[in-house]
Amino acid sequence: MERMDWKKLLNVGRYGQEIKKDTKDIRRPYQRDFDRIVFSSAFRRMQDKTQVFPIPQSDFVHNRLTHSLEVSSVGRSLGSLGGNIILNKENDQLNIHPESFGDIVAAACLAHDVGNPPFGHSGEKAIGAYFKGEQGQKHIKHLEKDDYWADFIHYEGNAAGFRILTNHHPKENPGGLFLTYATLGTFSKYPCASRLKNTKVKGHTSLKKFGYFKSEEEIFAEVASELGLFSNDAISGNNWKRHPLAFLMEAADNICYRIIDLEDGYKLGYISLKEMEELLTYFLHYPNEDTAGLSKYEAIKDPGEKVGYLRAKAINALVNETARVFEEKYEEIMQGTFDEELTDFIRSGDHFNGTIYDRNKQLYNSRKVVEIELAGYKILGGLLEAFAGILLNPEDTYNKKLNELVSDQFKAGETDDYYQRLMKMTDFVARMTDSYAINLYRKITGISLPEIY
């Protein structure tokens, strides 16, 4: 069976930009990717986007930005460990430092939630629900092809993220952030199209969601070609095998949200110290043989410090366990025959994917989380009804006024068809921060009036 080639997988070419060597820049190519993401407006907006819990309750609670920074930190460790494994497996034939693998995974992790709309994952569902509803259904008859409609009714933050990273904003800057093909491939956990959303193939985690909209189909095909990713023969259609480092990015996200969401739950009073101990002291003696960690924990007096120590130890144990699974599954990954989550195979899997996962689900159904999800449905649905509605009746006097509130980059170009116009208007709403969406919704519905100076 054909095997993926790291000389292609580490492609330093940049989408949308000619290859050129900058001899004055001492940064490695993938470090430059990281920096470009940090300084992007899309990354900065994540400081006002919900992770799980409504942010105003506590200045400790994670938002999308702090979550992404932590995932990136864990991803760098996993990537560097993976780099050592890869170089050993490939007999050091790649002429690259293992830390470069850490750079790639860290950059991809940093951007992994950049496409998420306001109000957490419920925001994605709210956008899809609008287009499935009576008002949203009015748009489908204007689309040229039915498979375009899947982009909207199954709206996906991962695909929105790929769109942000690769598209020109503003128009005179084609290519998005000009990231390397290696980072774009690692970012793409779900290398398939939206029309395959409901395709269920056992053992194919990469098909759970989708990674690009119809508008970016050709771009993704170019990225896959440059990286030498195999076509996924499990199903028909435009879909590819994952980049090997995408498994590490996914694991970093799994580890962080499972463990750190518990810590947020403790800080907000949903979980007691005793329960945190029951959930996380497990990692102080498993898989380690000694009791030094447990003794150090017992010496800590401050409850908050105790929880922080448990969190750190748990993440460290999970990183090492995940790296071992990556090593065990390495050849299957390189041949494209492995397509499951690494964290499903760790030694502490029963606890991580059982007890901890179940407690996470209880937190996600807490009253405050449900309240913000309900608000998200109302607010995003209302904003889409207003702004997407402009496209249905652009000559209406009210709609003309409303269109003045739309940023120029989201307004239709002369050559845009209806799909492109609708996608841009959806972009406008989906890229709002929580606060901006709430305030704009209040203003256009007359719930509050803008201040006049």
Q: For 259, left (φ over 0), alpha (ψ -120 to 50), or beta?
A: alpha
For the segment 269-279, the average pLDDT, to the nearest whole number, is: 94
- Per residue in 114-127, pLDDT (tens digit) is 999 998 788 999 99
Using a 10 angstrom Cβ sphere, with 0-12 exposed, 13-18 middle and 19 or more buried, the burial of residue 91 is exposed
Mean pLDDT calculated for residue range 320-328: 97
Per the prediction, the chain carries an average pLDDT of: 89
Residue-level pLDDT at 393: 94
Q: Which has more confidence, 229 or 16?
A: 229
Could you tell me which residues are beta bridge partners of residue 240?
231
pLDDT at 31: 95
pLDDT higher than 80, residue 44: yes
CA 335 to chain centre: 25
Residue 193 near residue 239 (C-beta atoms within 8 A) = yes
Query: What are 430-441's pLDDT values in tens digits?
Result: 999 999 999 999
Chain segment 22-42, per-residue pLDDT in tens? 556 778 899 999 999 999 999
Give me Rg for the CA atoms of the chain.
Answer: 23
Q: Structural domains in the chain?
A: 8-227 (1.10.3210.10), 246-363 (1.10.3410.10), 368-439 (no CATH)
Tell me the percentage of the chain whose pLDDT exceeds 90: 69
Most confident region among 98-102, 264-268, 286-290 by mean pLDDT: 98-102
Beta bridge partners of 14: 17, 180
Q: pLDDT per residue over 82-96, tens digit each?
A: 999 999 999 877 888
SS3 281: coil
Widest distance between CA atoms in the chain = 73
Taking the C-alpha atoms of residue 266 and residue 5, their distance in angstroms, rounded to an integer, is 45
Q: What's residue 188's pLDDT?
A: 97
Q: Which of 86, 110, 84, 109 is nearest to 99 (CA)?
A: 84
370-406 residue pLDDT tens: 888 888 899 999 999 999 999 999 999 999 999 999 9
- Give the Cα separation of 308 and 440 in Å (integer): 38
Question: Residue 244: which of 77, 4, 49 has the closest Cα?
Answer: 4
Residue from 236, 172, 246, 237 nearest 205 by CA? 246
Write out pLDDT tens, residues 150-187. 999 999 999 999 999 998 665 556 678 999 999 999 99
C-alpha–C-alpha distance, residues 166 and 293, integer Å: 45
Asked if the model's pLDDT at residue 232 lies above 80, the reply is no
Other CB atoms within 10 Å distance of the CB of residue 165: 28
- CB neighbour list of residue 292: distance below 8 Å, 6 or more residues apart: none
pLDDT of residue 292: 74
Rounded to the nearest 5°, which phi and psi values hold at 180?
A: -70, 155
Q: How far is CA 350 from the centre of its chain?
A: 25
- Which residue matches tokens 């991809």? 108
Which residue from 153, 161, 162 is spatially nearest to 197, judged by alpha carbons? 153
For 412, the token pair is 């239709």
